[in-house]
C-alpha cells in the first residue's frame, strides 16, 4: 500500500510539472505574438500617417505655389501651339477646258490675246491646232500652261475673250502618290548606299558582278521614280488651260418668203457643187465602165453579123 501511494504521488508531481511547463511556454508565445502584432500595427499606422502627411504637405505646397498660374498658362499655350500647326499642303493638278464661239475671222485676235495673257504671268503655249471648213470658218484649239497660283486670274481673263458656251475645271489630288514616291526614293537611296559600301568590300569578281546587278536595278528604279516626281512637280506647278474656239456665220436678218427662196437657191447651189465633186470622183470608174460596155457591144455585133450571113449557092450551067 505504501509503495502504491508513493507511485501515485510521483505521477501527480510529473503531471503538475508538465502543466507548469506548458503554461510557461504558452505565456511566452502570447507575449511574443502580441509584441509582433503590435509592432506590425504600429508600423502600418505610422506608414498611413506618413502618407497622409505627405499628401497634405504636397497639397499645401501646390496651394501656396506662386507659379501655378504661369504653369497652367504655359500648358495652355503649348496646347494652342499644337492646334495651330500648319496643315499638310495638298498637291493638286488643275485642268480647265473652255469652249467659246466668235464671229468669222476673229480667231486670230483671240489667239493673240490668249497668248499675251499666258505670257504676262509667266506661262507659255503647249500646243495649238486649227482648221477651216468650206465657208472659211475656223475651228481651233490652243493649250496654255500657266503658273498654278495664277490659274483663277487667267481663267477670268480668258473667259472674256469671246462668247463662252461651256467651261469645265477639274482637279486631281496627287499628295498621297507624291509622299509614297518620296518614301520609295529614300529607301532606294539607302539601298544604293549599302550596295556601294559592299562594292568596296567585295573580294572576288563574282561578288562584284552580283553587287553590280543589284545596284543597277536599284538605280534604274530610282531614276524612274525621280522622273515621275519631276513630272508631277511640273504638272502641279503649272496648270493647263485648253481653249477651243469655233467661228460661226452671222445670223440672217431676212425673214419670210424671200429669205426662204434665197436659202433654197443656196441649198440647190451647194447640192450641184457636191454633185459635181462626186462626178469627178466617179469619172475614172465611169470611163472604165464605158470601155467595157463598148467592147461588149462590139463583140455582140460581130457575133450577130456572123450568124446573119448565108452562103450563096453556085450557079448551074445552062
**How far is the C-alpha of 60 from the C-alpha of 42, rounded, in Å?**
27
State which of 152, 172, 192 marks the end of a domain: 172
Backbone φ and ψ of 162, nearest 5°: -160, -170
- Nearest residue to 234 (alpha-carbon basis) of 161, 287, 174: 174
Residue 270: Cβ within 10 Å count:
11
- pLDDT number for residue 31: 45
**How far is the C-alpha of 7 from the C-alpha of 165, rounded, in Å?**
140
Look at the chain and count its residues: 318
305 lies in some domain? no
- Which domain covers residue 201, as residue numbers? 176-236
Give the bridge partners for 141, in sequence order.
129, 244
On whether both 198 and 148 belong to a single domain, the answer is no
- pLDDT number for residue 230: 94
CATH number at residue 168: 3.30.70.60
115 lies in some domain? yes
User: 106: which residues sit within 8 A by CB, 6+ positions away?
Assistant: 162, 247
- How many domains in the chain? 2
- The three three-digit cell numbers of residue 213, written as one number: 546587278
State which of 172, 202, 224 marks the end of a domain: 172
| Residue 191 · residue 199 · CB < 8 Å | no
Q: pLDDT (tens digit, 0 to 9) for every residue of the chain, 318 residues total?
A: 555 555 566 555 655 555 665 555 444 444 444 443 344 333 433 444 454 444 444 444 434 444 444 433 443 444 344 344 345 568 899 999 999 998 888 888 999 999 999 999 999 999 999 898 888 888 999 999 999 999 999 999 998 998 899 999 999 999 889 999 999 999 999 999 998 888 888 888 888 899 889 999 999 999 999 999 999 999 999 999 999 999 887 754 445 666 677 777 777 887 888 888 887 888 888 888 989 888 888 888 888 776 655 555 555 555
On whether both 126 and 165 belong to a single domain, the answer is yes
Amino acid at each position: 500500500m505504501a509503495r502504491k501511494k508513493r507511485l501515485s504521488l510521483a505521477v501527480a508531481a510529473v503531471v503538475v510539472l508538465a502543466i507548469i511547463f506548458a503554461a510557461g511556454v504558452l505565456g511566452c508565445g502570447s507575449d511574443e505574438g502580441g509584441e509582433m502584432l503590435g509592432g506590425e500595427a504600429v508600423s502600418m499606422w505610422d506608414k498611413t500617417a506618413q502618407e497622409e502627411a505627405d499628401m497634405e504637405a504636397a497639397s499645401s505646397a501646390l496651394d501656396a505655389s506662386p507659379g501655378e498660374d504661369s504653369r497652367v498658362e504655359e500648358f495652355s499655350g503649348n496646347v494652342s501651339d499644337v492646334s495651330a500647326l500648319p496643315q499638310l499642303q495638298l498637291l493638286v493638278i488643275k485642268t480647265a477646258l473652255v469652249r467659246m464661239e466668235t464671229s468669222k475671222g476673229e480667231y486670230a485676235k483671240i489667239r493673240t490675246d490668249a497668248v499675251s495673257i499666258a505670257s504676262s504671268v509667266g506661262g507659255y503655249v503647249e500646243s495649238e491646232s486649227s482648221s477651216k471648213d468650206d465657208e472659211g470658218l475656223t475651228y481651233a484649239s490652243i493649250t496654255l500652261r500657266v503658273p498654278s497660283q495664277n490659274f483663277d486670274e487667267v481663267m477670268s481673263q480668258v473667259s472674256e475673250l469671246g462668247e463662252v458656251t461651256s467651261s469645265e475645271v477639274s482637279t486631281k489630288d496627287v499628295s498621297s502618290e507624291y509622299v509614297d514616291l518620296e518614301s520609295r526614293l529614300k529607301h532606294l537611296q539607302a539601298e544604293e548606299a549599302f550596295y556601294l559600301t559592299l562594292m568596296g568590300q567585295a573580294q572576288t569578281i563574282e561578288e562584284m558582278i552580283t553587287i553590280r546587278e543589284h545596284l543597277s536595278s536599284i538605280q534604274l528604279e530610282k531614276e524612274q521614280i525621280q522622273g515621275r516626281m519631276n513630272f508631277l512637280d511640273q504638272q502641279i506647278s503649272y496648270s493647263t488651260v485648253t481653249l477651243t474656239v469655233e467661228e460661226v456665220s452671222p445670223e440672217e436678218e431676212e425673214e419670210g418668203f424671200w429669205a426662204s427662196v434665197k436659202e433654197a437657191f443656196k441649198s440647190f447651189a451647194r447640192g450641184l457643187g457636191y454633185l459635181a465633186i462626186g462626178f469627178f470622183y466617179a469619172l475614172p470608174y465611169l470611163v472604165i465602165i464605158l470601155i467595157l460596155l463598148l467592147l461588149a457591144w462590139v463583140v455582140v455585133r460581130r457575133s450577130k453579123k456572123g450568124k446573119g450571113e448565108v452562103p450563096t449557092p453556085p450557079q448551074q450551067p445552062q
